[in-house]
Structure formats: C-alpha cells, structure tokens
Structure 1
C-alpha cells in the first residue's frame, strides 16, 4: 500500500490509496496523525507513505507520538532521478526548485518547543503550495522502470527516503546534552563567560602574549588573518599562512601562544556560549541534518553543526539516568565499497582478516605484501581514491595497482570519464553532475585557432581536476549509500526491540520513550541512546545491520564492514 499525502488550498489534507472503502480521505491537519496511526497498526497494510518532503510532514506525526515505518520522499527522489536517468520525463519545475523544509524554526512541537505546523515553519498551512504529488509519483515510477538498473535505483530511493525519516527522528529526539557541563568546559578553557563584546579572559591573556612576542601594538586585530600575517612578517616569523602544520614547523616565541589562541578561539566561535544558548534547550541538542546535502549523497547539517562535534565538548553529551550510549564506528568504508564495486576479491580479502569477520584493511594490505607499512597502505589508498599522484602516494600507487588491479582500474576509469567530461554513477545509480560551461569553454579554448601552450595547459589542468572529482564521486557516493542502508537497518531493528517500561523518565519524547533510538550520525559513526538493559543487544543489532547493508549493496560478494562498538554513559568515554 502506497498512500499519497497532499495538502489542499484550504489547509486540509488529502490521503489517497488507503486500504479502506473510501480509498481517498480528506481530513484536517490535526487528524492526519490518527489516520496514519490506524494504517500503521494494520499489520497487513505495510504502508509506504508518499509525500512531497519528509521535513514538511513527518514532524507533525512525531509531535503526536506517531512513527511510520516507510516513506517515499518525492523531493529527494526527484533530485536523484532528474540527474541519474537520461531522458526521464519528470513533472513541473516546482520539484526542481523545491528546497527542503526547515526543522529549526520551532517545527518540532515537542515539550518545551513551539507547536508544530504542517510545513515545518510558523504560518498558515495554506501558505505552502505544493505541486501535484500523484503526477510526480507516476513520473518517478516510469523513470525508474525505464532505467537500465531499476532494482538498484529503487534501493537508492528507498534508502534516501529512509535517511530522511532518520534525520527528522534524530532532530525530534535530540542529543542528550548537559548544559552545565558544557558551561564548565568553557570556563575551564576560556575563563568565566565574558560580557557582550568582550574577549574571554584566557583569550585576552594569550592576545597580550602574542602582541608582545611580535612587538605589535595593542590595536593589532588577531582575528584578522591579513593583519596578523603582516605583523608576523614584520617580526621575522617566516610564516606564509596560519595553518597549524606550517606554524608547528617554525621556531619563534609567538608560535606556542598563537596555536593555543587559535584552538581556543575555534572553541569559542564554534561551540561557545552563543552556540550553547542557540542550540541546546531542555537538555537536548537539536541540529538539523540535510539529507543528500552534498553532491555525492553525503549528509550536511544546518545549524548546530552535528556533523562536527569536537572532542573538547563531548564530555557534555551524557546519557539520561538509566540509559546508555551505543557508539558504532565503521572502519575504512570507502576502500571497502571500492572493493565491492570493482569486484576486487584481493582487496576484499585484505579487509576480511584471518577469521573472515573483518579486520583493519590497511594492515591486510601490508600482509598481502603490497607495501611495507600501514601508513603507506593508507596514503596509497587515499591517493587512489582522491587522485594523489605525488609524494608518498605517487610512489605507492604502482605497487597497489599490481596487487589490486581491479580496484585501481575502477577509479582510474572513473577519472578518465571525468576528464572527458562524462557523467559517472555510484553503485546504486546516483549520477555526478556534468562539468559546467566554464569547464567546456576551457576545453574548447585549447583547440581554437591561435591557442597556445598556456590554453592547452589550462585545459589539461581543468580536465585532471574534474577527473579527480569523478574518481572520488563513485567511491564517496557509494560509501554514503552503504551508510544510509546501515542506518535504515539500525532504525528498523531498534524499533523491533520494543520498550523497556522502567526506562521511562520523561526526558525522551514519544514515540521513542523507553525505546532505543538514533540520536547522532557523523558519516561513518552512529550514536544510539538506549535503555541500559538493552545496550548489549543494541550493539549486536548494529553489527548485524552493517552486515545487512553490505549484502544489500553487494549481494554475496565477500566484502566485510567491521565496526568498532562501544557502550558508555558519556560520549567522551568512547574510545
């Protein structure tokens, strides 16, 4: 059953395709949750809800305590199909330009937050005008059916839509966050909270030391890279940039206080008091994920920076009383998916280990005799996937190509396709964007009458640059697909574990109260908040989900995706 949910101009909601006599129902926005709850409770129905945008519709259901099992996000699917199925006839331009609805403007409706509205932002429902979802669904089905790899595309669209459900659920549940511990972290590092417009005491002290070491005036603006570099040049420091690795090589009294200043300034600006006030409320961090926010399909974040939580503040991430965190980190996803895509049994064997259950892939490359050290194996594989051809990477690549010819040939061919201006695809069928007009102008310029070596050199450089992009696109994009399948499997498995009644403490909102649930995702790492009694069971399910994701993408091909799994009460305690 694939019911389609659509808004009406008068603010009501039309639901079509239900397994009832009146297969089309029109209800008020607040009654939608009851309709969905009834359909989800019908074991034979197995609905896959189809709607314009998960961000617009799902917060309303979660605020009413309703979780859905499956959805089809038309906006996300349209974006994939538009670029990935040549000749597909999709509907109006509204779908091409539709941005994701925002969750960060009071859309959640959980305790302590503004009530939810239907479209994830304050204002009357009728203000949001949606294109026809039924016409778009029909067009998408036809596009998939007419593609060369329909089964893979269906899996990709299902995984992308499941990822959208996960993202909204993580925003709804929030990351447990102890504001008082975060305050202590900031005070320990920076000194007491300063008044508005003032610099924290520790930064002020370091600023004085930096100016003294440079013999610079009190008015030197340390937060202006240009002014600071000019002062350092005047003092004979010899720095060409403010990059950490370059500064660490220099010998001058300003280096030590400057490096500390940069580190603490980053803490203050990225996760300081202003960040804490803006993003942590009622004991939860709620940061919005943007599913497919990167062209390869990787996620991005909007507000709060959930994808970049530094270790310096993780001590504030503390599980609720009676709960624990299960943290799982997938090792070396990209070279493993490369082995799967290329059908490289030698590379897969390097990552399986002696017991066949999964091991450090780089150590496996060393054991194969291809290179002498783990560091060389890592540098070489990163060079293969990202196009590094100089230094240690360039020296190692020929040896890797002899040991693992299928994997190296696979990324080399993706690079050559990019250099020709062609489109490449991930394992499940997400296509890369074509190079833009300026790229084509540069290429054609090399063949114009009167073109010289300079134009030819620019064309070669531009072609190689786009080749490096397509080389990595196929690997990074497929790694993102594996991660989405992994999370979708985790989500389903966690819900199946059910509730632990004595775990209810009022902190976790429905429908996840007393249930394990995902709260954080960082590309190759997930954090699950679970009742303590289920922690070890959850850890086993997360491992099983990784195996399932590998089978979904690569079938019986023996590539393993081992995990490092930890159970802890604080995120800072995770190894």
Structure 2
C-alpha cells in the first residue's frame, strides 16, 4: 500500500491511499492532525509513505515519537534520476519535477534548513503540492526507472536512498552518546584551561612564543599562513604554503612547534569549548546528516564535522552504563568493490582474506605489502608518481580485467562522458569551461598543456567515481538492511553513526552479540542485493566496546 502525504498548515494535511498493485485510489484523507493520523496508519498498515522530502517532514514526526518503517522520497529520487539521465535542473524543491513535466518555469532549489530552525509542524513550502501533483511526479519517476538500462538496480538505489534518509533523521534525533566530561578533560590536558574570549589557550600561547623565538623574536601570527610563509622567506627558505607535509621537509627550529601548534589549533577551533556548547546536549552529539551530500553518494554533514572527528575525540564517544557500542568497519572495501564490479576472478580470490593487500603482495609484489597497496590505489585513483607506474604495470598484467575496468572509466571521463556506479548513481558532466578547453584544437603550448591536464584530471575523477560510488551503494544498502533487521529483532538498539564504510550501533550490553550477528547478516544481504552471486567477500571488522577509542 502506498500513501501520498501533502503536509499543510497548523499540523493538518492530506493523504491519499493507493493500492500498490493496481494503482487504484483507495481513499483520500484530510486529517486535522496529520502526525497522529500517520502514526495510527503506520501501526495498522505499514505502508510505503510517498513524501515530498524526508528531511523536512520526518524530523518533526520523530519529535512526537513517530517512526516510519518505509518511504519514498520524491526529492532525493528526482536528483538521482536527473543525474542518471544527464539532465540538469533543480531538485531540492520537489515542485520542480512537476514543473518540468508541464513545461513550466522551475522553482529554484530551496536552501538547506538553518541549524536550530523551529518551523511550525509541517509548515513547508507553499508552492507544493496537491495530492494529484505528488502522484503525477511519482508515476513519472517510476516510468523513468523502468525505462533505464537496469531498472532493478536503479530501483534499489532510489529505495535505499529514501530509506537512508529515514535512518539519517533517526540518527540525528537519537544522537551519538557523548561524554562532555571526558571531552572537557581532553581539552584541558591538550590546551590548558578554557581561555578568556579573544585569547589563546595556554598551550597555544606557549607554542606561539616558541615559534616567534625560533624566528629570532620577530613578530608573526602562527594562525596566518601568509605570515608564516613570509617568516620563512626572511630566513631564506621558500615554501609554497604551510601544509604539514610541506613543513616536514623543512629544516628549521620553528617547524616542530609550528606543526604542534597547527594540530592543537585545529582541535581548539573545530572541536573546542564552543563546539561542545553548540552540538552536545543531554549527553548526545546530534549532527545533521546530508544523504548523498557528495556526488559519489557518500554522506556529508551540515555543521558539527561529525565525519571528521579527530582520533583523540573518540574517547568522548561512550556507551551509557549497561550499554555497548558495536562498531563495524568494512575491511579494504574499495579494492573488493573493484573485484566485484570488474568480475575479475583472480582478484576475487584475494578477497577471502581480511588483509587483501597482504595476499596481493605475496602473489605479485615479492611480499611487499606497501607496494601492493600503492599499486591498487594507483589503479583506483590514477596515481603515477613516486614509483607507482611500474607497480601499476605489474597489477595490470596480473589483473587485466580489474585494471581495465577503471581505465575504461578514466577514458570515458577524458572524453567528457558519464560513468555510473553499480546501482546507477551517475557522475556529473564536466563544466562548460572544461568543454571549452577540450574543444581547443590549437593554441599556445601552455594552453594545450592545460587542456591535456584538464582531460587527465577529469579522467582520474571518473576512474575513482565508479569504485567509490559503488562502494557507497554497498554501504548504503547495508545501512538500510541493518536498520530493518534491528527494528525487527533488537528494537532497543540504535544506529548512531555511519561514515563511508563504518557503522556504529548503541545497544544494551545484553543485545551486543545479537547486534553483531545482524551486522554480519546485513553485510551478506547487501552484497547479494548489490552485486548478485559474486564470489567477492566483504568482511567486517567488528568490535564491542564501551568507548569508540577502543574500537581500533
């Protein structure tokens, strides 16, 4: 059963119940309390909800302790389909899809919601949308999926993206268990007591003095890269920037305190005392996840930097008393994905081991694991520097099917063509300025060099896109399968973190072993759904811990 939902003002709205098999309308409803009506209908019928945009509606339902099991997000689906078709158009506002169907002017994309915004319940954009419009957009999207080269794969992608949006809202609502006490102790041990407004922490102030002393006492601002570059220039040392890898090549007494200053300053500005006040409440860190926020399908966050937590801060991620954190990490996911994508049987054999690189090293690189890793990363990312070329040649000879797969993707990118993930997530077209460079048949040597470089750069992007986006397909499907399994078998367990190929569940300690079993089962199911009967193994490293810091 499908239920189309059109939120209205003051908590009211309208809903249309449709038979999923016959597509016939069963009934239209106009409840004055849409949330309550949806809660009752979810319990009694378990329908698939057809929603304009999950991220605008579902968080408000969660505030009322209303959870949905299944949905279809018209906004996310439209974005996927537009990219799949190589079309441009606004999709953050779902009304744009209806406008395109009727040749009307498309409304502009809506900006993301501001942090801590408190809209009235279901007070959405007034340009949207009658139930007839919702149904028309949904029907058109289903037609486009069916017309694709692999409708089953694309349907799985669209379905998983929508379910992922439910999981993202639930994770934000639940929050990552966070010990403010541990975090504050960590800050004080690293930086000293909290400074007065406008002042540096004591440790940074001390390091700043050491840096200045190393430059002969001449004033400089260690927070300003141009100031630091000028200070080195006065010492007769030319550096292009102040990145850590550049500084590590410099022999000067200022380098050591400067590197330490940069690391601690990042902690202070990105995850210091102000961060705690903004993001940690009631023992939980609640980031705002952006589903498919990266073109490859990986998630992003809107503020809070949840996907860039420093290792030191993992100590602050702590299970509640009597609870555990079950942390799962896919081992060397992208090389395994390449083996499955390319159907390279030789490479698939090495996926049986948790350490795939060790097997490759023993087979093709005289036991040198480092060389095996460089070769594989060069194949997937297009690197040729630092001796990678000869290593890649060995890999190409040993696994021509796998290397050929990414090289074909690179060639497509160099020619300005699209490439797709396993489930159909599609790379964007290069920019108009890129195409203008490619159309240049003559010019100065520098202009032609820039044209060739731009072509190679886009080829490196598409080379990695097919692997990274397919890995994102697998991880997303695992996430939504795990969400379904936990809801049925361990409802007290909460998925609290998801990052690329890593998953974290917060659960009663007594349920940890069951959760571990369900995570492993979810990985197997995801592999079957995404890659079919592939011989490639996707092992997970799973740890049950009290603190995230103990998981690795």
Q: Normalization by structure 1: what TM-score?
A: 0.88
In the alignment, the residues of structure 1 paired with residue 337 and residue 359 of structure 2 have an alpha-carbon distance, to the nearest angstrom, of: 16
Equivalence map 1:219-258=2 (5 Å): 220-237=220-237, 239-258=239-258
2:456 is aligned, of 464, 470, 477, to 464
Deviation string, structure 1 residues 463-492 (Cα, Å, up to 9, x no partner)? 111111111111111111111001011111
Partner of 1:118: 121
Which range moved further: 159-168 or 4-13?
Answer: 4-13
- Decide whether aligned partners of structure 1 residues 285 and 106 sit closer, same or farther in structure 2, where only a CA change above 3 A counts: farther
1:16 aligned counterpart, secondary structure: strand
Equivalence map 1:434-445=2 (5 Å): 434-445=429-440
Deviation string, structure 1 residues 167-190 (Cα, Å, up to 9, x no partner)? 100000001111122111111111
Q: Unaligned stretches of 5+ in structure 1? A: 108-115, 120-124, 354-358, 500-514
1:390 aligned counterpart, secondary structure: coil
**Residue 91 in 1 paired to residue 98 in 2?**
yes
1:216–1:231 contact (8 Å) kept in structure 2:
no
Partner of 1:485: 477
2:4–2:51 contact (8 Å) kept in structure 1:
yes
- Decide whether aligned partners of structure 1 residues 128 and 560 sit closer, same or farther in structure 2, where only a CA change above 3 A counts: farther
1:24 is aligned, of 19, 23, 28, to 28
Displacement after TM superposition at 1:33 (Å): 2.8
Displacement after TM superposition at 1:243 (Å): 2.0
2:12–2:34 contact (8 Å) kept in structure 1:
no
Which range moved further: 418-427 or 238-247?
Answer: 238-247
**Residue 104 in 1 paired to residue 115 in 2?**
yes
Partner of 2:468: 476
In the alignment, the residues of structure 2 paired with residue 39 and residue 101 of structure 1 have an alpha-carbon distance, to the nearest angstrom, of: 29
1:10–1:126 contact (8 Å) kept in structure 2:
no
In the alignment, the residues of structure 1 paired with residue 173 and residue 9 of structure 2 have an alpha-carbon distance, to the nearest angstrom, of: 27
2:389 is aligned, of 386, 391, 394, to 394
1:17 aligned counterpart, secondary structure: strand
2:339–2:347 contact (8 Å) kept in structure 1:
yes
Partner of 2:533: 556
1:557 aligned counterpart, secondary structure: coil
1:55–1:101 contact (8 Å) kept in structure 2:
no
**Residue 174 in 1 paired to residue 170 in 2?**
no
- Decide whether aligned partners of structure 1 residues 22 and 137 sit closer, same or farther in structure 2, where only a CA change above 3 A counts: closer
Displacement after TM superposition at 1:317 (Å): 1.1
**Residue 36 in 1 paired to residue 28 in 2?**
no
**Residue 530 in 1 paired to residue 507 in 2?**
yes
2:2 aligned counterpart, secondary structure: coil
In the alignment, the residues of structure 1 paired with residue 500 and residue 249 of structure 2 have an alpha-carbon distance, to the nearest angstrom, of: 32
Displacement after TM superposition at 1:101 (Å): 5.0
Displacement after TM superposition at 1:221 (Å): 1.4
Which range moved further: 461-470 or 237-246?
Answer: 237-246
Displacement after TM superposition at 1:9 (Å): 6.2
In the alignment, the residues of structure 2 paired with residue 151 and residue 92 of structure 1 have an alpha-carbon distance, to the nearest angstrom, of: 27
Equivalence map 1:188-337=2 (5 Å): 188-218=189-219, 220-237=220-237, 239-337=239-337
Deviation string, structure 1 residues 365-385 (Cα, Å, up to 9, x no partner)? 123335541111111111111
**Residue 75 in 1 paired to residue 75 in 2?**
yes
Partner of 1:540: 517
In the alignment, the residues of structure 1 paired with residue 226 and residue 218 of structure 2 have an alpha-carbon distance, to the nearest angstrom, of: 15
1:23 aligned counterpart, secondary structure: strand
1:409 is aligned, of 404, 408, 417, to 404
Q: Unaligned stretches of 5+ in structure 2? A: 89-95
Displacement after TM superposition at 1:546 (Å): 1.0
**Residue 446 in 1 paired to residue 434 in 2?**
no
In the alignment, the residues of structure 2 paired with residue 168 and residue 408 of structure 1 have an alpha-carbon distance, to the nearest angstrom, of: 38
Displacement after TM superposition at 1:128 (Å): 4.4
Displacement after TM superposition at 1:253 (Å): 1.6
Deviation string, structure 1 residues 251-274 (Cα, Å, up to 9, x no partner)? 322122111111110110110011
Partner of 1:496: 488
2:390 aligned counterpart, secondary structure: helix
1:85–1:143 contact (8 Å) kept in structure 2:
no
In the alignment, the residues of structure 2 paired with residue 195 and residue 317 of structure 1 have an alpha-carbon distance, to the nearest angstrom, of: 27
Which range moved further: 95-104 or 250-259?
Answer: 95-104
In the alignment, the residues of structure 2 paired with residue 444 and residue 18 of structure 1 have an alpha-carbon distance, to the nearest angstrom, of: 51
2:69 aligned counterpart, secondary structure: coil
- Decide whether aligned partners of structure 1 residues 298 and 209 sit closer, same or farther in structure 2, where only a CA change above 3 A counts: same
2:482–2:522 contact (8 Å) kept in structure 1:
yes
1:130 is aligned, of 128, 131, 143, to 128
Equivalence map 1:563-574=2 (5 Å): 563-574=540-551
Displacement after TM superposition at 1:36 (Å): 2.3
**Matched positions, count:** 534
- Decide whether aligned partners of structure 1 residues 379 and 72 sit closer, same or farther in structure 2, where only a CA change above 3 A counts: same
Deviation string, structure 1 residues 276-295 (Cα, Å, up to 9, x no partner)? 11111111101111111111
Partner of 1:502: none
1:79–1:96 contact (8 Å) kept in structure 2:
no
Q: Normalization by structure 2: what TM-score?
A: 0.92
